[in-house]
């Protein structure tokens, strides 16, 4: 737990979170389970592909922030894995030829390029399904059945038809035809923010947050999710392809409608700053035992360069 002390930089702190998540992910699909070998490979291939592990970090950080110490760490880590399972499945399905048709993800060939389309679809289905097993398991690791069930129901809502999948559909239907900022916001709120809201709120539930705190944490999640997405749009235009692990200007080439495209670069940067402030205000109002890391994460997401 060394890196978790208050003097560690947020970068070290997130790095430590990511390592903890990585270790938990390694045990999240027990070897004893009778899973066809090739399916297991396909699931682990994308789970291991890494990324910033921001969503799991938010589960862990929110749990700590509410209670002020690393309580119920096992339960929080289990739910942190669940959110990464959901995020990973969504990337696998998004990359499919019928969807975005991407050959690379985080610098590695996409799942279907390695395992074929059918296996990629099934590996995504299996990851999505197993996320709910992980949430159910949290109840054996320090939270009540009521809390685990509330987390499970909320995951189904925020990852589902009126949440992340709904955002993905809106994105697909609106491609190249989006003219209003409101439509773009709908897409990103659901495609990106909803899972971040889930991460923050589920961690907070594990930490024992009250209803008012959950509401404020939802505002935090919504705003940093949106800021995160707009920052992604900005980095696609001005970022460093090596740091990003993917080509820049891909949005322009794909004629994707983005925030910079719709409202300009300066306005987009101002919007990121304003959303970040709103997120931080919500955290301060929530009167958490230790708000510092959540405040730092909000700033980190704006200042990151990849």
Binding site for its own copies (CB under 8 A): 29, 33-36, 38-40, 43, 89, 93, 96, 98-99, 116-119, 121-122, 124-126, 128-133, 135-137, 139, 144-146, 148-150, 152-153, 155-157, 159-162, 165-166, 168-170, 172-173
Beta-carbon neighbour count of residue 178 at 10 Å?
20
**Is the Cβ–Cβ distance between 136 and 151 less than 8 Å?**
no
- Least distance from C-beta 234 to its own copies, angstroms? 27
> Among residues 150 and 265, whose Cβ is nearest to its own copies?
150
Distances (CA, A) of 120 to 82, 89, 202: 19, 9, 28
Q: Work out how close the CB of 281 gets to its own copies at its nearest, in angstroms, rounded to a whole number.
A: 26
Burial status of residue 136 (CB atoms within 10 A of its CB: 0-12, 13-18, 19 or more): middle
Q: Which is nearer to its own copies, 38 or 212 (CB)?
A: 38
Q: Which is nearer to its own copies, 29 or 295 (CB)?
A: 29
Minimum distance from CB of 156 to its own copies (Å)?
4
CA-CA-CA-CA torsion for 189, 192, 197, 200, nearest 10 degrees?
A: -150
CB nearer to its own copies: pick between 160 and 245 = 160
Q: 156 or 235, CB closer to its own copies?
A: 156
- Cβ closer to its own copies: 34 or 266? 34
* Alpha-carbon separation of residue 56 from 98, 102, 198 (angstroms): 28, 25, 10
> Least CB distance from residue 88 to its own copies, whole Å?
13
- Tell the smallest beta-carbon distance from residue 141 to its own copies (Å): 13
Contacts 24+ apart (CB under 8 A), 233-239: 233/258, 233/259, 233/260, 233/261, 233/268, 234/259, 234/260, 234/265, 234/268, 234/269, 234/272, 235/305, 235/306, 237/265, 238/265, 239/305, 239/306
In whole angstroms, how close is the CB of 278 to its own copies at the nearest point?
Answer: 22
Q: Which residues contact 184 (CB under 8 A, 6 or more apart)?
A: 178, 257, 258, 259, 262
Task: Reduce the DSSP state of residue 151 to 3 states and report it.
Answer: helix
Q: Which is nearer to its own copies, 45 or 89 (CB)?
A: 89
Q: Which is nearer to its own copies, 8 or 35 (CB)?
A: 35
Shortest distance, position 28 Cβ to its own copies, whole Å: 11
CA 298 to chain centre: 14
Provide the minimum distance between the beta carbon of 91 and its own copies in the complex, in angstroms, as a whole number. Answer: 12
Q: List the structure tokens of 101.
A: 């048709």
């Amino acid at each position: 737990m060394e890196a978790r002390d208050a003097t560690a930089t947020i970068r070290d702190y997130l790095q430590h979170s990511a390592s903890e998540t990585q270790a938990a992910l390694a045990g999240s699909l027990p070897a004893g389970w009778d899973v066809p070998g090739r399916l297991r490979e396909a699931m682990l291939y994308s789970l291991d592909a890494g990324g910033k592990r921001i969503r799991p970090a938010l589960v862990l950080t929110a749990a700590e922030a509410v209670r002020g110490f690393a309580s119920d760490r096992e339960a929080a880590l289990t739910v942190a894995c669940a959110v990464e399972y959901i995020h990973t499945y969504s990337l696998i399905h998004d990359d499919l030829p019928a969807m975005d048709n991407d050959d690379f993800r985080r610098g590695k060939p996409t799942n279907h390029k390695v395992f074929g389309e059918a296996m990629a679809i099934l590996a995504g289905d299996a990851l999505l399904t197993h996320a709910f097993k992980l949430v159910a398991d949290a109840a054996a690791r320090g939270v009540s059945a009521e809390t685990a069930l509330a987390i499970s129901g909320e995951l189904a809502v925020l990852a589902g038809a009126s949440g992340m999948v709904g955002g993905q559909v809106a994105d697909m239907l609106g491609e190249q035809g989006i003219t209003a900022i409101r439509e773009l916001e709908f897409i990103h709120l659901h495609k990106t923010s909803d899972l971040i809201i889930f991460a923050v709120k589920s961690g907070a539930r594990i930490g024992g947050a009250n209803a008012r705190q959950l509401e404020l944490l939802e505002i935090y999640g919504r705003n940093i999710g949106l800021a995160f997405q707009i920052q992604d749009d900005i980095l696609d235009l001005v970022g460093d392809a090596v740091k990003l692990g993917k080509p820049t200007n891909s949005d322009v080439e794909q004629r994707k409608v983005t925030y910079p495209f719709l409202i300009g670069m300066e306005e987009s940067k101002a919007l990121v700053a304003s959303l970040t402030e709103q997120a931080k205000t919500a955290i301060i109002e929530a009167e958490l035992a230790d708000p510092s890391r959540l405040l730092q994460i909000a700033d980190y997401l704006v200042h990151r360069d990849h």
